[in-house]
Amino acid sequence: MIKTSKRIAEMLLDIKAVTFSFTKPYLYTFVSGIKGPMYCDNRRLISYPNKRRVVVSSVVKIAKKLDFDIVGGVSTAGIPWAALIAERLNKPMIYIRPEAKSYGKKRQIEGDMKKGDRILVIEDLVSTGNSAISAIKAVRRNGGKVSDCIFIFTYDLDAAKKNFQRIRCKMHPLLIFPDLIEVAVTRNYISKKEKEELLKWHKDPKKYWTSI
């Protein structure tokens, strides 16, 4: 059986969800503000039913080993995955905005959640983890409990690991940056030299950016 991480990596590369830019100083800017020579657009996966099912099945396999009452999607990219996973598991669902609305009922969390409910947070991608962590903190402020967060891909940066450790939440990625890069080299999407450039960036993104 093909390892889950390899299969996810192949899917992302096949649909061109992963793009590279090695022409300095033209680099991609992430939501977190970090700049890098690679960008992963997981959102494209929702347009491919077969690939979508692979992702959902992979998340469900992890989720079945965890204790939770409600599936919570991080707005916006985590919402479709949370909906699909909640449906598969026959679980309630909520979603969490980055901040409360300034109109209507001014909610940050949509859906029904009561104090003490255990929420499994679903995010599509993590760089530093700020978006997911903001959602986790919002759930906790509103009386919910969060101990686990599942996401499709992470750049596997030290900053994200430290941020999740700080709030005592376990990370469950389907695919991490080093594994994606290995598959990209094997399938000739990038050269070995470009792989080294990516690993150099990964070791210290801020230093990499200021050195070019």
Q: What is the DSSP string of the chain?
A: ---HHHHHHHHHHHTT-EEE--STT--EE-TTS-EESEEE-GGGGGG-HHHHHHHHHHHHHHHTTS--SEEEEETTTTHHHHHHHHHHHT--EEEE-SS--SSTT--SEES---TT-EEEEEEEEESS-HHHHHHHHHHHHTT-EEEEEEEEEE---HHHHHHHHHTT-EEEEEEEHHHHHHHHHHTTSS-HHHHHHHHHHHH-HHHHHHH-
The answer to whether 124 is annotated as binding is yes
C-alpha pair distances (Å), 143 with each of 26, 110, 111, 123: 44, 14, 14, 20
Answer yes or no: is 71 a known binding residue: no
Query: Annotated binding residue at 123?
Result: yes
* Residue 129 is labelled as binding a ligand: yes
CA dist., res. 22 & res. 100, Å (int): 39
> 127: annotated binding-site residue?
yes
Q: Is 128 annotated as a binding residue?
A: yes
130 is in an annotated binding site: yes
Q: Which residues are annotated as a binding site for 5-phospho-alpha-D-ribose 1-diphosphate?
A: 97, 101, 123-131
Query: Which residues contribute to the annotated binding site?
Result: 97, 101, 123-131
